[in-house]
Amino acid sequence: MRTPLFLALFVSVLIACAGVAQRPETPKRPPNIVLIFMDDMGYADIGSFGATAYKTPHLDEMARQGRRFTDFYVTQAVCSASRAGLMTGCYNVRVGIFGALGPRARTGIHRDEVTIAEICKQKGYATACYGKWHLGHHKQFLPMQHGFDDYFGLPYSNDMWPYHPGVMHLPMEKRLKRWPHLPLIAKNEVINAEVSGKDQEQLTTQYTEHAVEFIEKNKERPFFLYLPHSMVHVPLYVSEKFKGKSGAGLFGDVMMEVDWSCGQILKTLRKHGLADNTLVIFTSDNGPWLSYGDHAGSAGPLREGKGTMFDGGCKESTLMWWPGRVPAGSVCRTPAMTIDILPTIAHLIGADLPDHKIDGKNIWPLVAGVKGAKSPQEAYYFYYGRQLQALRSGKWKMHFPHGYRTMDGRPGGTGGKPNGYRQKKIGLALFDLEADVGETKDIKDAHPEVVARLRALGESMREELGDQGRRGKGFRAAGTTSGNEPVEEPPIPPLARNRRGDTLLKAGRFDAAIADFDAYIASEPQAESHHWQRGIAYYYAGRYRDGVRQFELHKKVNPNDVENAVWHFLCKAKLVGVAAARKSVLPVGPDARIPMMTVYDLFAGRATPVQVEDKAKATRGRQAGSALFYCHLYLGLYQEAIGKPKAARHHIRVAAEKHTSPGYMGDIARMHATLMQR
C-alpha cells in the first residue's frame, strides 16, 4: 500500500513543479540605452580594431563581452550631418542638415523631427545628453527642446573658437569676427561664455561625471544616456591624470582617457546591477581628420578619412554590449548604419516610430546574432553635401563620379597644425568590399549586371532625396531661427497631422502638438472631438484660457465626458483659483468608468481624496487596474492644483509606473511624471 501512496505524492510534486516552470516570468522594465558617440575617431583607433600604440582595455573588454560590427556606417562623414542621421533615423539629406553647423548658423534640427530621446520619452525614460550636440546652437535646437531632460556640453565642435589654427595669425579682434568664443552650456543656459584650453582639458572627465551621476540618479527607472564626446576632434585636450601616460603622444593620451570614460560607465552599470538590462553602443561620427597627422587617428586598411564617402570616412569601428542578450566575442560583418539605431531602440522598448518617413530599420536580429539574420536594407546611400556619391548593397559598393579630398600619400601635419589636402576625382567605380576592403580595384567591367542594378537603386534614391541641383520629393527642411518653421515642407495629410500631434504631445513638445491639432481640426469637419486633445496640449503649454475654450467646445460634442470636465477644471483653477473653479465645473452625466464619478465629485468639492482611493481599491475584476490608474492620475493632478506637490508627485508616479494604462492617458501620465522630475 505504501508504493501507490509514494507514487501519488511523487506525481503530485512533478505536477506542482511543472506548474511553477510554466508560470510566466515577471516582466522586466524596458532596457536602458547608453549611446557613446566619438568625434573624428578612426576605424583603427581602438584595440579590437587594430590600435597597438596605446591601450584601450575597457573598450577591448566591451569587444570580448559583446559584438563587433566591422561594416557599420554613418550617413555623412562630417559632424552635424552625421549626428542628424543618428538622432532622427533619417539620412541627413532628408532632414536638411548638412556639413558642420558653426556659431553663425541660423539653422538646426527642426521641431517636427523626432529624436531617439523622444522615442524613449514615450515609455517614460529619463534622458540626458552630455557632450557635443552640434544640431544647432540656438535655444530651440538644443537637446532640452528635443526630448532630453538634461544637457551639459558644447553646442558645436571644440575648434570653433578664436584659437582655430586658421585664424591664429590674426589679432583677437579679427579672430572673433570669424570664430566667437566657445560656450559651455548646462540645460539651456551658457555657464561659461569663454571656454579656455584649461577648460577643454576637463571636458572628458566632466562629461563622464555627469553620465555616472545620471545613471545613479535614475537606476530605478529606464534611462537613455547619450554621451557624444568632444574628443578626438582637434584641438586635442586631456586631463592631467592621462597626460604623457600612453607613450604614444597626445592622441594616445586622449584615447586612453576616452577608454577610461567608457570603463567608468560599465563600472557604474555593474555596481548598480544594471548591466544585464542595458544596451551600450559605442561608435563615432566619422573617420579620422587625416590632414592633422599626429593629432589624427588611423583609418587602418580603409581608404581616405573624414570628409569623404570612401569607407575611411564613413565606416566606423562599432561595439555593442549587453551581457546575456548580445553574444559575447562575436562579430557582425553585415552592413548597418546609424540610421538603424532609432528604430532598433523603438523595437526594444515597444515604442512607436515617428509618423513621418524615416530611413532606418530595426537591426536587432543582427545585434542579437540571430542565426541567418540578414540586413533589412536593400542598400545604404552615401551623400556628401547634396551629392549622391556612392551606395552599398551587400558586399558591393559603387561610387558615382565625384571629386574628393585626399592627402594623396603625403603625411598630415604635426603639433595640431594641418597639412593641406589635394583634390582628385573618381569615375564610376565598383568595389567588392569582401575581397577589397580598401576600395582599390575597380571591377565594374566584370559585373555589368551589378552596375545596372545599383544604378537603378541610385536613381530611385535621387527621386526620393535629390542629387545636387535636383530636388527629391522626400526632402524636409531644417529648422530656422525665424520661428523654426520649415523653408519648404511637403503637405501632410490631415490624419497624419493629428497622429503626429499626439506623438509630439506625449513627447512634451506642446507648441508643435498644438500646431498639428489646429491644422487637423481646420481641415477635417469631423474632428471636433479632438478639441479635448488640443485642450490638454494647451494646458501643458501654459495657455490655460485657450484650454478652457477647447474643453467647452468638446462638451458640445460629448456633453457627459467626465475627463473633459476635470481638465476644464484644471485650466480654470490655473486662471481663477481652485475655489472659483469649483463654482463653474462643467455638468456631466454618469460615467461607467470606476472611479470617474467619484473623481468628478472630488473636483466639484463633494468628495475627498480618501473616498476616491477607497472607491478604486474596492473595484474588482477586469476594471481593477484601470480604476487604480485613473484614481492615482487624477488624485495627482488634483493635489498639484491645490498646491501639494509632494502628494502630487507620489500619485503621478504610481499612475505612471505601477498602474500604467496602455492607452492615451497612460502616455500622458508618463509624460507628466517626467515633467515633475525636472
- Cα separation, 624 vs 639, in Å, equals 22
- Cα separation, 661 vs 628, in Å, equals 10
- Cα separation, 267 vs 258, in Å, equals 14
Q: Yes or no: say if 204 and 230 are a contact pair by the CB < 8 Å rule.
A: yes
- Cα separation, 140 vs 116, in Å, equals 17
Residues 6+ apart with CB under 8 A from 455: 398
- Cα separation, 178 vs 164, in Å, equals 10
- Cα separation, 590 vs 561, in Å, equals 9
Beta-strand ranges (E) seen in 466-596 are 466-467, 470-471, 479-480
Q: Which cell numbers hold the place of 269?
A: 552599470
Phi, psi for residue 4 in degrees, rounded to 5: -60, -40
- Neighbour-count burial of 52, counting CB atoms closer than 10 A to its CB (0-12 exposed, 13-18 middle, 19+ buried): exposed
What is the Cα 659 distance to its own chain's centre?
A: 27
Q: Yes or no: say if 42 and 287 are a contact pair by the CB < 8 Å rule.
A: yes
**Residue entry with cell 472630488:** 602
Q: Yes or no: say if 673 and 512 are a contact pair by the CB < 8 Å rule.
A: no
Q: How many CB atoms lie within 10 A of CB 285?
A: 31
Angle at 550 between CA 540 and CA 661, to 5 degrees: 55
Residues 6+ apart with CB under 8 A from 524: 494, 495, 498
- Cα separation, 465 vs 147, in Å, equals 26
Q: Write out 224-248 in H/E/C secondary structure.
A: EEEEECCCCCCCCCCCHHHCCCCCC
Task: List the catalytic residue out of 58, 90, 120, 134.
Answer: 134
DSSP-based helix, strand, coil % in the chain, nearest 5: 45, 15, 40
- Cα separation, 663 vs 625, in Å, equals 13
- Cα separation, 138 vs 134, in Å, equals 10
Q: Which cell numbers hold the place of 63?
A: 569587444
Active-site residue, 134 included: yes
Active-site residue, 169 included: no
Q: Yes or no: say if 237 and 254 are a contact pair by the CB < 8 Å rule.
A: yes
Q: How many CB atoms lie within 10 A of CB 23?
A: 8
- Neighbour-count burial of 263, counting CB atoms closer than 10 A to its CB (0-12 exposed, 13-18 middle, 19+ buried): middle
- Residue 225 half-sphere exposure toward CB, CA atoms < 13 A: 32
Residue whose C-alpha is closest to residue 32's, from 209, 236, 246, 216: 216
Q: Yes or no: say if 488 and 477 are a contact pair by the CB < 8 Å rule.
A: yes
For the annotated catalytic residues, the residue numbers are 79, 134
